[in-house]
Amino acid sequence: MRIFEASWSLACVVVAGFALCGAAQAQAAVTPDPTDVGKNVFKRANCMGCHKWHGNGGGGYGGDALSLRKTELTREQIVETIGCGRPATGMPFFIRGAYDTIKCHDMTRQDLGDQMPPEATGFLRPNEIEAVADYVIARIKGKGEPSYAECISFFSDGSRVCNTYKTPGESAETAGKAQ
Ligand code: HEC
């Protein structure tokens, strides 16, 4: 009887071991990248309209958007730039009440006059601004030239936009594996 009990509990541990292992694997497969929240803000707030999906920026309707790949700003400075925009440039402010109820560079709309940056087409909440700043720091700043793998990970599909970044022999499958 004792032997039976011992082997029963051993089987139980093995079963529990498999069960745990299975659960851990399933979780790893569905756990989203924490910076995906910021990536969605980057798309939704149209940062990509001016800075492009890869962040390199360039000319556009907002003027010459600076490269977020080459930026030397710290997280704190990026958060401030998004919230307050940048006076006398096309970089819009994204926080409701900037230069009014929210302090920006210690200046008000009146102080700025025609140097007032444009208002974003939609405001962001402080946590959304932090999320998009974290995304810029983790996945854009200091990343060198944009790659095909980055492009398909940004668009989450084999977007035709990405074909320009393809190197010979590269496919969505091989690029996905390379990540
Ligand atoms: C309407 C166009 C436009 C939109 C939309 C826009 N930007 Fe900009 N952004 C600019 C321009 C233009 C500059 C360059 C300002 C300058 O000349 O100093 C800039 C500058 C910046 C800078 C400063 C970079 C540096 O190194 O000084 C950061 C950071 C930035 N943008 C982040 C963002 C983020 C994040 C979003 C989305 C929430 C966004 N921008 C949306 C046009 C835009």
pLDDT tens digit sequence for 53-101: 999 998 766 668 899 999 999 999 999 999 999 999 999 999 999 999 9
* Residue 94 in contact with ligand 1 by CB distance below 6 A: yes
For residue 86, give the ligand 1 atom closest to its CA.
15
pLDDT tens digit sequence for 140-149: 999 999 999 9
Interval between CA 57 and ligand 1 midpoint (Å): 8
Nearest residue (by CA) to ligand 1, atom 9, is 91
* Residue 87 in contact with ligand 1 by CB distance below 6 A: no
Q: Report CA 115 to chain centroid distance, whole Å.
A: 29
Which two tokens mark 14? Answer: 């093995």
Question: Which range has the worst mean pLDDT, 81-95, 100-114, 136-150, 153-167?
Answer: 153-167
Handedness of CA 173, 177, 178, 179 (dihedral sign): positive
Report yes or no: 75 and 86 within 8 Å, Cβ to Cβ. no
pLDDT band of residue 22 (cuts 50, 70, 90) is very low
Nearest residue (by CA) to ligand 1, atom 41, is 47
pLDDT (0 to 100) of residue 160: 85
**Candidate from 50, 67, 119, 130 with most ligand 1 atoms within 8 A of CB, to mutate:** 50
pLDDT (0 to 100) of residue 38: 97
The count of other CB atoms within 10 Å of the CB of residue 153 is 17
